[in-house]
C-alpha cells in the first residue's frame, strides 16, 4: 500500500490562533485538488521536530509545514536531525499561516490558502541551502546546535527576539516589530564582538549582525538583500555604530533593504563564520525568530541540502 503523497505538520496556534481554522480550510482544498495526504498536529513546543522525524521514519519524503516561521524551523530541524535518509531526498513545502511569514517572502510563496495548496500540484523545486549554528547554553555553557533555513541575528536582533519571549505578540507583525524597535532601542547597548570569516576578522561594538540564506526576518525587515538560498553561501551584514534616533528615522530602510547602504554597514558572503565576544559581555544569537544562546557561535553552510517547492 502506497503512502499518501504529502505529510502535513500543523501548528494549531500559528497566526495568533488561526491555525486550527486554517487547517480545516486547507483540508477541504486538498481534497478538492485530489491531493492525497496524512498529517500530524503539534501540541507542545518542538513537537513538530518529532513529527517530522516520525514522518520520515514511516516513509514519507514530501513534508509540508502548516504554520509560521517557527513551525518551519522546527520541521527543518526534524528533517535534519534524522539519519534514515539523506536530506536531499526530502521535498519540503509550506502553507504559510503565521504572523510574520518571513521565509516565504524570499520565494514569493503565496499566503493565500487556495494558491498555496495549488502550488502542491506542481513539481518545480529548488535545491535550498540550510545553515547549522553552534552556540552555548547561557546557564550550563554546554555547546548546542540548531539548523535554520532563513535568517540568524545577533546583537540588536537577538535583543529584540528575547523581548518577544516576555511580551505577547499581537496584531500585525510589522507594526509589532516597529513597536519593539521603539521600546528596545533605548535599552540596548552595542555588543563588542569579533566576526571571523574567510581568513578575515572584524572587531567592533556591533549594533546588529544578520546572517542568512534568505532575505527577510523580524516581520519583513530586509537586512541581507544580497542573500541567495541556492548559492551555497551565507549573506551577512554587520552594522557598527547606528544611533538610536537613526533606527527610528530610517525604519523604512530596514524593510526596503536600503539600510545596508548606511556608512556603518558592511556586507559580504561566506561559507563559514565564527563570532566571539568577551566572557563578561557575550554575544547572543537567535535563528528564525527563536532565541538560542551565547558566544562563541559558529555558522556552517550545508549547500543544496533539501528540495523546496517554489512557484
pLDDT tens readout for residues 106-136 = 999 999 999 999 999 987 999 999 999 999 9
E-assigned strand segments in 168-289:
191-197, 200-206, 208-212, 216-217, 221-222, 234-239, 265-270, 272-276, 284-287
- Domain final position from 123, 156, 173: 123
Q: Is there a domain that residue 189 lies in?
A: yes
CA distance 277 to 232: 27
Residue 204 pLDDT exceeds 90: yes
Does residue 20 or residue 275 have the better pLDDT?
A: 275
Residues 276 and 251 in one domain: yes
Question: Residue 172: pLDDT band by 50, 70, 90 thresholds?
Answer: very low
Residue 306: the pLDDT is: 98
CA distance 91 to 100: 23
CB 35 within 8 A of CB 121: yes
Residues 292 and 157 in one domain: yes
Residues 201 and 292 in one domain: yes
Percent of the chain with pLDDT over 90: 73
Q: Is there a domain that residue 308 lies in?
A: no
Which of 112-126, 157-171, 250-264 is predicted with the least confidence, judged by mean pLDDT?
157-171
Which of 203, 218, 233 lies closest to 295, judged by CA? 203
For the question of whether the overall pTM of this predicted structure is more than 0.75, the answer is: yes
Residues 149 and 46 in one domain: no
Output the domain CATH number for residue 243: 2.60.200.40
Residue 147 pLDDT exceeds 60: yes
Q: How many domains does the chain have?
A: 2
Which of 154, 163, 137, 134 lies closest to 146, judged by CA? 134
Residue 3: the pLDDT is: 62
- List the end-to-end C-alpha distance of the chain, in Å, as a whole number: 31
Residues 142 and 274 in one domain: yes
Domain extent at residue 73 = 6-123
Residue 15: the pLDDT is: 66
Residue 1: the pLDDT is: 46
Mean pLDDT of 183-205: 91
Residues 102 and 184 in one domain: no
Does residue 298 or residue 188 have the better pLDDT?
A: 298
- Domain final position from 123, 157, 184: 123
Residues 116 and 152 in one domain: no
Does residue 126 or residue 244 have the better pLDDT?
A: 126
Does residue 121 or residue 78 have the better pLDDT?
A: 78
Output the domain CATH number for residue 93: 3.40.50.10330
Residues 207 and 284 in one domain: yes
- Domain final position from 61, 90, 123: 123
CA-to-CA separations, 132 to 144, 146, 215, in angstroms, rounded: 11, 6, 17
CB 191 within 8 A of CB 277: yes
Amino acid at each position: 500500500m502506497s503512502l499518501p503523497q504529502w505529510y502535513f505538520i500543523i501548528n494549531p496556534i500559528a497566526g495568533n490562533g488561526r491555525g486550527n481554522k486554517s487547517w480545516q480550510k486547507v483540508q477541504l482544498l486538498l481534497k478538492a485538488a485530489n491531493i492525497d495526504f496524512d498529517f500530524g498536529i503539534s501540541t507542545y513546543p518542538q513537537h513538530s521536530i518529532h513529527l517530522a522525524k516520525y514522518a520520515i521514519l514511516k516513509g514519507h519524503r514530501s513534508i509540508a509545514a502548516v504554520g509560521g516561521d517557527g513551525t518551519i524551523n522546527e520541521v527543518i530541524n526534524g528533517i535534519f536531525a534524522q539519519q534514515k535518509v539523506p536530506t536531499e531526498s526530502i521535498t519540503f513545502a509550506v502553507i504559510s499561516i503565521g504572523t510574520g511569514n518571513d521565509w516565504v517572502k524570499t520565494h514569493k510563496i503565496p499566503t493565500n490558502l487556495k494558491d498555496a495548496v495549488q502550488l502542491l500540484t506542481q513539481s518545480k523545486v529548488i535545491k535550498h541551502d540550510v545553515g547549522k549554528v553552534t552556540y552555548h547554553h547561557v546557564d550550563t555553557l554546554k555547546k548546542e546546535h540548531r539548523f535554520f533555513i532563513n535568517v540568524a541575528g545577533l546583537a540588536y536582533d537577538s535583543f529584540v527576539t528575547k523581548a518577544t519571549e516576555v511580551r505577547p505578540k499581537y496584531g500585525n507583525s510589522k507594526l509589532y516589530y516597529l513597536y519593539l524597535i521603539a521600546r528596545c532601542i533605548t535599552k540596548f547597548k552595542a555588543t563588542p564582538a569579533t566576526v571571523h570569516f574567510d581568513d578575515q576578522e572584524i572587531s567592533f561594538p556591533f549594533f546588529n549582525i544578520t546572517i542568512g540564506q534568505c532575505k527577510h526576518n523580524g516581520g519583513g525587515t530586509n537586512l541581507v538583500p544580497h542573500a541567495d538560498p541556492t548559492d551555497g553561501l551565507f549573506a551577512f551584514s554587520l552594522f557598527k555604530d547606528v544611533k538610536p534616533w537613526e533606527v527610528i528615522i530610517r525604519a523604512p530602510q530596514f524593510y526596503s533593504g536600503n539600510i545596508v547602504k548606511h556608512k556603518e554597514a558592511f556586507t559580504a558572503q561566506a561559507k563559514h563564520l565564527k563570532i566571539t565576544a568577551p566572557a563578561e559581555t557575550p554575544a547572543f544569537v537567535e535563528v528564525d525568530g527563536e532565541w538560542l544562546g551565547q558566544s562563541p557561535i559558529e555558522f556552517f553552510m550545508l549547500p543544496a541540502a533539501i528540495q523546496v517547492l517554489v512557484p
